[in-house]
Amino acid sequence: MIKGIITAILFSIFTFLTGFAQSDDSVMIKRLTDEILLNGKAMQNLYTLCKSVGTRLSGSAGMYKAEAWGLQVLKEAGAEKAYLQQCMVPHWVRGKKEYAGYQTKKRSEDPSFDVLAIGNSVGTGDKGVLANVIEVKNFEELLQRKAEVKGKIVFYNYPFNKTLLRGAYGDAVRYRSSGASMAAKYGALAVIVRSVTGAYDDNPHTGALRYNDSFPKIPALAISTKGADKLSSLIKGAYKDENLFIRSNCEMLADTIGHNVIGELTGTEFPDEIITIGGHLDSWDQGEGASDDGTGIVQSIEILRVFKTIGYKPKRTIRIVLFANEENGLRGGNKYADEAKLKKEKHVMAMESDGGAEYPRGFGCGMTKEQYAKVMGWTKFFEPFDAAKFAFSEGGGGGADIGPLQTAFKTAQFGLSTTGQRYFDMHHSALDVFEKVNAQELNLCVVVMASMVYLVDKYGL
């Protein structure tokens, strides 16, 4: 009987306390939401990153400018510590404008195409490559027709499969990343790859390739989607037996020094437990690197600013990391995890935003079942985002830069996911500019990121 009464009393105390704690959390989340939506600095920071710094490929002058910018902005946002973490980065340069076109002079005008060298690719040099083009739909067709490939330019015309929704990029990107070596294996002289995008226009989209050291390194170009269709129809018609001339002057120089840029708020109760939040500071050399990944950078910095501004003192150490060299090497993410291992740091969670800043839709959650169950208990705090559609998807990847941290420590990962239906239209192309980013959407992403960071910081995982 007495035991029953004690249990009842304890239960009421527990209900009272948890009820109180929840309302306390709602108040805090409301405060940070208001600060972000009414006084947010993310858009302003994105503007200076895009317009004053611009593109910032690893090893470029823009990279060093971006590092200085990042350090300054982290300090202004209220970082208690702000510092650089050195790492060696690849230094690939594009050289002068690429060319791909027919020069037969048999007609009044020979066609040319909108192309960009694929990152990390070797160039053709000024002498270029003049060869017949063989079009293949996919690797299976390449294999079937391998006897025809020698001495030719292989043209991968693999379409972005829109029915895969957000999976289309992952499906198509293999032709850009490994198509060159696959074709070199059968004696191809160069490759042209249909841009990995669902947009139909004249903008080529670059990105990285990785050579397989077992085969010769051959030049690789990305062609715009309209250009791909034009080339495809020409080589089936009037230009069937003609040779295409391509030229690129890109080259890989020696590795150079780059840095992760880091800003911290030291934890008040568990300073040794680290929460990492970041995006990648480097970008391709087209457009302004606004959505890839300027938005992830300014969102991450904004979380620190907001905590500082509303006077929230995190229990755990909040570390904002502007990662170096995600695009063509991942040296920043690897260095960060290596240093953490060396110092035996304790990493409780990591969050990355590297998918643009469209309307937030949830998080990919790479963590244990128990951690995931705890996160699911917080859905109520995301109700303004329509909890029914706001998903914490189990087992989702966090992001490229924080991947090495998970490998090293099994750190719980959160990857911001958004509606993501415009991102690949501009990704790695001249269209990735500040003007394509919507301020309210950018800030709403910060709201969900900051809310989740607050909850993990307060309750642990």
Which residues lie near Zn ion (CB under 5 A)?
A: 292-293, 354
Nearer CB in complex with Zn ion: 135/282: 282
Q: How far is the CB of 173 from Zn ion (least distance, A)?
A: 12
Q: How far apart, in whole angstroms, are the C-alpha atoms of residue 23 and residue 187?
A: 67
**Residue 60's CB: how many other CB atoms inside 10 A?**
21
Q: Which two tokens stand for residue 351?
A: 């969050």
Q: How far is the CB of 330 from Zn ion (least distance, A)?
A: 11
Nearer CB in complex with Zn ion: 41/280: 280
Type of residue numbered 215: F
Nearer CB in complex with Zn ion: 354/425: 354
Nearer CB in complex with Zn ion: 292/302: 292
Q: How far is the CB of 227 from Zn ion (least distance, A)?
A: 24
Nearer CB in complex with Zn ion: 41/427: 427
Q: How far is the CB of 127 from Zn ion (least distance, A)?
A: 34
Q: Which two tokens stand for residue 65?
A: 């400018």
**Residue 28's CB: how many other CB atoms inside 10 A?**
17
Nearer CB in complex with Zn ion: 33/295: 295
SS3 content of the chain, % helix, strand, coil (to 5): 40, 25, 35
Nearer CB in complex with Zn ion: 50/461: 50
Q: What are the backbone dihedrals phi and psi of residue 231, each rounded to the nearest 5 degrees, phi first?
A: -60, -45
Cβ 426 vs Cβ 291: under 8 Å: yes
Question: DSSP assignment of 41-99, as one string?
Answer: -HHHHHHHIIIII----TTSHHHHHHHHHHHHHHHHHT-SEEEEEEEEEEEEE--SPPE
Q: How far apart, in whole angstroms, are the C-alpha atoms of residue 299 and residue 301?
A: 6
Q: How far is the CB of 289 from Zn ion (least distance, A)?
A: 8
Q: How far is the CB of 292 from Zn ion (least distance, A)?
A: 4
Q: How far is the CB of 285 from Zn ion (least distance, A)?
A: 14
Q: Which two tokens stand for residue 435?
A: 């003007």
